[in-house]
Copies of this chain bind each other. A is one copy, B any other.
Amino acid sequence: MRIGVLTAGGDCPGLNAVIRSVVHRAVTHYGDEVIGFEDGYAGLLDGRYRPLDLNAVSGILARGGTILGSSRLERDRFAAACDNAKELVEKSGFDALVPIGGEGTLTAARMLSDAGVPVVGVPKTIDNDISSTDRTFGFDTAVGVATEAMDRLKTTAESHQRVMVVEVMGRHAGWIALESGMAGGAHGICLPERPFDPADLVKMVEERFARGKKFAVICVAEGAHPADGTMDYGKGEIDQFGHERFQGIGTALAYELERRLGKEARPVILGHVQRGGTPTAYDRVLATRFGWHAVEAVHRGEFGNMTALRGTDVKMVPLAEAVTRLKTVPADRFREAESVF
């Protein structure tokens, strides 16, 4: 068989581990040929690809990024190509396609599948917000980076007697904030799923100071927002340079807490550091397993599915099921975290 692989969407530690695993299983066990499309779906549409043999994937297991490159989906061009799916497949001559990506990528994969392309998807997101899989690779690395940052910030917060507001990634789902907040020992966690009231945070900080703990760390997802009417934070204003002047919820919240508390509060925005670099062991293992199972599914002809972790097993689940709704943080997971504030 000839199997095509591509990576699309934002960077995510573990992409290379999936590619390597697909190549190893396909080439060594099945004697397949593997080709890698360059720059995500753009390479598929253009017929830009290169052969991937064992040497091509040697030494990439622990490397961040993707050797295949990535790009944003050109929606119109993609939709047009789907109308002519047969031609798309013939241009590069593959028997199966393994797209590795997040919600957008998998939705596109589903469109291809509906158009008759033999597809097995592999879910990827540092945000851990894809339904139907217990975890996605990249998430553990992101949580690890954010946790290590909070470990460092705590000693500084303590010696300066300060409040630190750490903004982590997560626009629509708060998994990174939840788990790094728990692991980093944050005293407050704000999630997109749960509008916060700054007054609660003020109360928490004041109670800590009253108990003799002269610092606090608050972990905020970038998509978190205050409950209506609890805080004026200037979202939506545009400055003279044409950039939105809202500096993100972490910065806005730090200003607000400093104003209300009369104590120093400082924002730290972790940003892209969370989505690059060497994956953790956990993510390498999960990515490797996903690659292996994708090849197995290809050879069993189970198209229209994606790999998913369910307990300790990797299963196939329909793409349709995976992309219809976001997996958000349920209330009981927040309650667990809340108890150690």
Q: Interface on A for B, CB 8 Å cutoff? A: 7, 10-11, 13, 15, 20-21, 24-25, 28-29, 54, 58, 61-66, 69-71, 134-135, 140, 143-149, 151-161, 164, 179-180, 182-185, 211, 213, 234, 239-241, 243, 245, 247, 255, 266-273, 275-278, 280-282, 284-285, 288-289, 292-293, 310-312, 336, 339-340
Q: Shortest 3 CB-CB distances between A and B: which pairs? A: A152-B277, A64-B155, A65-B155
Contacts A70-B160, A144-B280, A152-B276; is A339 near B21 (CB within 8 Å)? yes
Nearest residue (CB) in B for A271 is: B268
A63 to B151, CA, bound (A): 10
User: Contact between B134 and A284 (Cβ–Cβ < 8 Å)?
Assistant: no
Name, among A15, A21, A161, A277, the residue most crowded by chain B CB atoms within 10 Å (CB to CB): A277
Contacts A65-B155, A268-B272; is A340 near B11 (CB within 8 Å)? no
A152 to B135, CA, bound (A): 22
Q: Could you say which residues of chain B place their CB within 8 Å of the CB of A134?
A: 311-312
User: Contact between A276 and B156 (Cβ–Cβ < 8 Å)?
Assistant: yes
User: Contact between A183 and B285 (Cβ–Cβ < 8 Å)?
Assistant: yes
A151 to B176, CA, bound (A): 21
A160 to B272, CA, bound (A): 11
User: Contact between B272 and A255 (Cβ–Cβ < 8 Å)?
Assistant: no
A176 nearest CB across to chain B (Å): 10
Q: Could you say which residues of chain B place their CB within 8 Å of the CB of A266?
A: 271-272
Task: Beyond the given A15-B159, A64-B154, A149-B273, please list 18 additional residue pairs across the A-B interface where CB-CB is below 8 A.
Answer: A11-B159, A21-B340, A25-B339, A28-B339, A61-B340, A62-B185, A144-B282, A151-B276, A152-B276, A153-B273, A154-B276, A156-B272, A156-B276, A157-B276, A182-B285, A234-B241, A266-B271, A289-B336
**Residue of B151, B154, B268, B282 touching A282 (CB-CB under 8 A):** B282
**Residue of B183, B245, B255 touching A284 (CB-CB under 8 A):** B183
Q: Could you say which residues of chain B place their CB within 8 Å of the CB of A336?
A: 288-289, 292-293
A69 to B311, CA, bound (A): 32
A153 to B63, CA, bound (A): 12
